[in-house]
Amino acid sequence: MNESDRGGAAALTAAAGEEAARYSRREFIKRVIASGAVASAAVYVYGGLQGCGRGPSVAGGVERLISLNVNGEVRRVDVLPQETLAMTLRYKLGLTGTKLGCDRAECGACTVLIDDVAHYSCSTLTHSVRGRKVVTIEGLAGPNGELHPVQQAFVDELAPQCGFCTPGQVMAAVALLRQNPRPTREEARIALSGNLCRCGAYDNYLNAVMRAAAQPSET
């Protein structure tokens, strides 16, 4: 083999080694990511099932299987110590009308009533509402499925646009009218100021609140 052939062979060998190294690094990273995802899922699932129905296993722990009064019905649910009410409502009780937007108590999409007061459920620990009454958007319907007066007013005023923030807007309005059945427009504006609308339909929502306030039906 002449000098040129030996040089070419060496170059090919080096290139193959470099490619193998890159492949190995890629495979290593992919396997680390995959194993991490599996481990995380296993911890969540196993942690969610471990000790279900038992009392605290360590000093300072909390009971996992608790009773919640949601929409007038007592529900038994397994709740992690740091689980938020929004997560419990959506993913354990199936009440998906409560929306998760910012998940940091800024947008109001997750608003629910706790003892008739509007709260952001994304920043409320589920364990903190034991013994209290929680109402979600699903709990506003009448016995025959009829719309709540506030919901009907929202429909009549064409308040919802994309609709994502609407459940939170409705719950904030209901909380206001239960405390102040005849608010001024400015009072309604202040009460709904914690609920953001990505479509900018704020006037429509205010019109709906004022329409609901003028109705004789109890809100």
Predicted local distance difference test score (pLDDT) of residue 3: 56
Average pLDDT over every residue of 213-218: 74
Q: Per-domain residue ranges for the chain?
A: 1-50, 65-213
More confident residue, 14 or 122: 122
Predicted local distance difference test score (pLDDT) of residue 94: 97
Is residue 212 scored above 80 in pLDDT?
A: yes
Is residue 102 scored above 80 in pLDDT?
A: yes
CA separation for the pair 171, 134 (Å, rounded)? 11
pLDDT band for position 38 (cuts 50, 70, 90): very low
pLDDT band for position 16 (cuts 50, 70, 90): low
CA separation for the pair 96, 112 (Å, rounded)? 12
- The share of the chain scoring above pLDDT 90, in percent, equals 68
Query: Which range is most confident: 19-33, 39-53, 202-216?
Result: 202-216
The per-residue pLDDT for range 58-74, each reduced to its tens digit, is 555 668 999 999 999 99
pLDDT band for position 215 (cuts 50, 70, 90): confident
Is residue 45 scored above 50 in pLDDT?
A: no
Q: Which of 25-29, 65-69, 97-101, 199-203 has the lowest mean pLDDT?
A: 25-29
Fold topology of 65-213: Ubiquitin-like (UB roll) (3.10.20)
The per-residue pLDDT for range 159-196, each reduced to its tens digit, is 999 999 999 999 999 999 999 999 999 999 999 999 99
CA separation for the pair 17, 67 (Å, rounded)? 62
Average pLDDT over every residue of 119-133: 97
Q: Which of 50-54, 71-75, 90-94, 105-109 has the lowest mean pLDDT?
A: 50-54
Predicted local distance difference test score (pLDDT) of residue 168: 98
